[in-house]
Amino acid sequence: ICFNGGIDKIIQCVDSLGTTASSYPSATTGIVPSATPILASDSRILYAPSEAWNQSTTDVNCTSSNLVYTTDTVNATISFNYSGPSIEIGVLNALNGGMFSVVVDGFNTTSTIDTYIGPGADQLPMCIPYQFPPFAVTPPHFSSEENHTITLVFIGPSTDAPTNVNMSIGQFNRLAIPDLVAFSKSSNQASSTTERSIEHYLLLVVPWVALYLLA
């Protein structure tokens, strides 16, 4: 399965174990699976400690809603239980954006979400989706279990931020569970349509080529 890799728009492929696999052009479609957003205000999302998180509104038109949860407290967390092989995280990237570490099923994947973005961006803040897997280190038994818990831990300033930055924040907007079943069916249907088109073309063209060669 192949996913959008965030701000760099790199397509990454994940094998059956949830680890990053080779991403050849022939193996990718460049299509991101559709996903229903789970907004930051959803009661199933747990923010801890609660006093470390603030609600604010944004007029950025790329968010799923105008509500975002923000924190500047190191070790503040966001936790969510979900079912399925993949989850998407929606955050705001900004000049004062910090970093989250990604913990899945109590295991530190060593993956991070860096929400800092420099002043050269066309528009700030920006909405950038991050999809997991792939992980830097895949949790044990991840592929054999259906139910998972993801925890985002705010760890402070980005390593790319200028050294004179006084404060960094994490801005969280949504989660989403990609519909990989529908995506797989759609991909298979597209592949079948292409194969039928090729077969139809060959049935029409090959006899005429044969007649031409025999003439």
Read off the pLDDT of each residue in 108-124 and give the average, rounded to a whole number. 84
Per the model's pLDDT, the better-predicted residue between 170 and 204 turns out to be: 170
Mean pLDDT of 190-212: 58
64 and 128 Cβ atoms separated by less than 8 Å: no
CATH of 34-178, one of 2.20.25.10, 2.60.120.260, 3.30.870.10, 1.10.1740.10: 2.60.120.260
pLDDT tens-digit series, residues 15-41: 444 444 433 332 334 445 567 789 999
Tens digit of each residue's pLDDT (9 = 90 or more) over 39-64: 999 999 999 999 999 998 887 777 77
64 and 37 in contact (C-beta within 8 Å)?
Answer: yes
Tell me whether residue 57 is exposed, middle or buried, using C-beta atoms within 10 angstroms of its C-beta: 0 to 12, 13 to 18, 19 or more: exposed
pTM (two decimals) = 0.70
Would the pLDDT of 114 be above 60? Answer: yes
Closest to 94 measured CA to CA, from 73, 115, 114: 115
Task: Give domain limits for the chain.
Answer: 34-178, 180-215
